[in-house]
Structure 1
């Protein structure tokens, strides 16, 4: 139960959590350490320098799509997790999935949700195509970069 004295602290902690997730998902390289405190409100996020030099400036996160580099898979691409969290196929339990095998999706269409630190982060397709396979079961913990769906791009389909 929230007491009147603890309400401001919970609001500060909630705001800090939201900012931490936004910062952590705004870069291509995941953070190596996250520290959030509530007393005197602070937030620290550390990134190890990626191999090959300094990190590029952070911009808005792009939809994560990976390809299996050199594997002849007929042009199939994988929509990958842009953050660590729990992957959900549908907006709520019992609802139809955002995208199922055989569905045509358009660029920017939501195909799932990743819950990270109580935030729901949409997973979107970066190109039009047909969903060939859902690679992760509903309500499964996923890692950054983990393939979630296999997509046959529209230009091939």
Structure 2
């Protein structure tokens, strides 16, 4: 949009045209989004101190389909020789994974209560932790409802991309 296309208002100044750097960044982000495997759930770009966050869409449970090159779904220990291993795997509702490399924090601030504990029920979209990356605090959200069965990382522990942070089991099941 060119400034001459904006209707004049008293006291209002037209928005500045994006500079070449912003246009280049936008073009790069669009190219990145088109080249990524699988369906995107969220793509966030910040221009100040430049950060890009990518979150992939999760397949519906039981579909077994995923795009080639997409992050692999969690693999359970059902191949274990224990007789109850299959039952434990069947109870697993899902895994909460780190969407990026950084430092995991279980609580919003030092000394505060953790976002969730083992046994807590969570709802989709509920914050279950934070991963700090490049001085940005990124909330980790539950993708599905469940009960926290296991927290696999400690507070202030380094985590890798796609690392399982915690496991959820379906609500209403015996522990």
Aligned counterpart, 1:95: 112
Aligned counterpart, 1:11: none
In the alignment, structure 1 segments of 5+ residues that lack a partner are 1-13, 29-50, 56-63
Q: Give the CA deviation at 1:106.
A: 0.7
CA shift digits 1:80-132 (9 cap, x unpaired): 10000000000000000000001011111000000000000000101111001
Aligned counterpart, 2:54: 26
Q: Give the CA deviation at 1:26.
A: 1.8
> Does 1:75 find its partner at 2:91?
yes
Aligned counterpart, 1:119: 136
CA shift digits 1:122-143 (9 cap, x unpaired): 0010111100111000000000
Tell me, what secondary structure is at the counterpart of 1:26?
strand
Higher CA-based Rg: 2
Q: Give the CA deviation at 1:74.
A: 2.3
In the alignment, structure 2 segments of 5+ residues that lack a partner are 1-45, 57-66, 79-85
Tell me, what secondary structure is at the counterpart of 2:91?
coil
> TM-score, normalised to structure 2's length?
0.54
> TM-score, normalised to structure 1's length?
0.60
Greater relative contact order (Cα < 8 A, sep 6+): 1
Count of aligned pairs between the two proteins: 109
RMSD value, Cα: 2.8
